[in-house]
Amino acid sequence: MASSTDVNHLDEQLRLITIGDEPRYAPLRLDRMFLRARQWKVSTPQVEPVLRPPSPPRKTVVFPLPVPLRADQGDRSPLAGLFDHPELLPLVLQHIERPSELVTLAKVSWQWCILARNKLYEHVWIRPWEENCHAKLLLLFDTLHRSPELCRLVKHLDVRFYPLAARDTERYALDDQVVQSLSCMEKLEHLVWTRDKSLNPALVEVVSKLDHLRSIEISGHSYRYYDPKMLGRPPALQDLRIMMPDPTFRDAFPDIMSEFGARKDGGLRGLALVCKSSPLVDDAMLTEAAKHLHELRRLTLWGCTRITREGVFDILREAGHLQELSLDALPHSNLGDLSSAPPMPYLENLSISFTTPHKSILKIEDLPVLPPTPNLTSLLLTLSGDRAFIPQDGLAHLQSQCSFGNLRRLSLSNLFIVTIYLTEILEASPSLEELYISVNGRSTVLDCPLLLKSGLRVLHINAPVQWGPTSDDLLGLAKSMEKLEQVGSGNRVYEVIRRFEGDERVVELVRWSRTWTPAYFQVWRG
């Protein structure tokens, strides 16, 4: 043990340590840090540590496979025996969607490995809200560019994240891998690439040559990144969805529409221009594009602050077979009143986002006026920028313009309803399968007996966190509503699992883990 002389000598040495060689630098005064440490140790009572046994590791519940049916099967898995009955294979595969399940299935036999791998790579995605998305993207394209046979399995590629921080050699190497991978995706049908500043001319040129590509959702920030005119070249392209178009894309837009309109099949089936709030898209653009959109079936115009009823109606006059229409009805656009719109006899899906000039107060005259739609089956209304209670007689106002008896999907986002209105909706909509509502408290749904007897498959309740339904409330609804398949509140989305444990029927809620985005996040603009 060190003597007091040694300790004093150490303290003296610690005081003399300085930063640098010149005297103008201040000493580090490490002696004071050591002194405080000694004082703290003396003043703190020493307590014997509590020894606890280690927690057992969590184990995944493993359901054993059935034993072989015949002795001559040996170690052959009964699941592999399904290949003796090929008509059953599609029935098994349709219930297996999660990647982890497909990976497990691939280990059963070489036949299942082929089927599982085909389905595993059929839909590939990278999304920014997932854990370790950077590492996933790097590993994905490293695998794909080394294995062209896997690229040929991809039919749907969804890339919403890209490591823009990568520089120099790392970025060039990744871009090369991406281009090589996409050039081998000869069966690619759907492409989503919305990450701003992640595109380059070589990548878009490869995309423009894909023979089976039917839909593109892509960033419209094209200046210095790619030539937007190349988006009109994919021979099979039918749906074009542009996110945040810039002036360069706006200038090329007429040529793109003209190229589609000159095709033998009549041009685009789907067009979407999505902005946060931009004056770039105006009525003149829509009027010029209208003459090339005779075969249009789906039209979406969000955040385009310079468009009005005049430009939109020009497209509606030409697109006589329109089935889906989604609009931002800004006050100056006059799109809140569609009563004089051109006939849309085939319209099935109508989505309108509107605002109110009165803060948190909604009047009947603020509600949109719907067009004549005899075949409407889906109505989505969103109050943009605020929340408010739907006014008295508001539902009657909507029902007078739309046959609720034909609706299969209804969304009232940011429009608070009470129990009596929920009952009125269910009574007027016997065919309703999907319902998305906003409430001001959990009692709205818990005190509605008719909800428990409804045939809804999907139910989502948007509510303030402190007043919304709890997970136990949602489980109780799932147990009472026999046809319910998906339920949620806010950003919590659950899949309803129904199974038997012996003779007992068990209902569980499992957090959403499917490969596709739940409908709740697709029915209204966030």
Q: Give the pLDDT confidence score for residue 419 in this predicted structure.
A: 95
Total count of domains within the chain: 1
Q: Give the pLDDT confidence score for residue 357 in this predicted structure.
A: 78
Residue 331 located in a structural domain = no
Measure the CA–CA gap between 73 and 359, rounded to whole angstroms.
73
Cα 136–Cα 141–Cα 144 angle in degrees, nearest 5 = 125
- The H-or-E segment that residue 414 falls in is strand 409-416
Quick: pLDDT tens for 99-139.
778 888 788 777 778 888 888 899 999 988 788 899 999 99
Residue 102 located in a structural domain = yes
Residues of the chain with pLDDT under 70: 1-87, 360, 514-517, 519-526
Residue 105 located in a structural domain = yes
Residue 228 located in a structural domain = no
Q: Give the pLDDT confidence score for residue 252 in this predicted structure.
A: 96
Q: Give the pLDDT confidence score for residue 5 in this predicted structure.
A: 58
Query: Based on the number of CB atoms within 10 Å of its own CB, is 268 exposed (0-12), middle (13-18) or buried (19 or more)?
Result: buried
- The H-or-E segment that residue 450 falls in is helix 449-452
Residue 340 located in a structural domain = no
Residue 418 located in a structural domain = no
Residue 99 located in a structural domain = yes
Range of the domain at 91: 87-120
Q: Give the pLDDT confidence score for residue 91 in this predicted structure.
A: 73
Q: Give the pLDDT confidence score for residue 44 in this predicted structure.
A: 47
Residue 116 located in a structural domain = yes
Count of CB atoms situated within 10 Å of the CB of 130: 11
- Pairing mode of beta strands 388-389, 156-159: unpaired
What the block records as the tokens of 465 is: 């966190």
| Helical spans, DSSP H, in 87-240 | 89-93, 99-105, 110-120, 133-146, 148-151, 168-183, 201-208
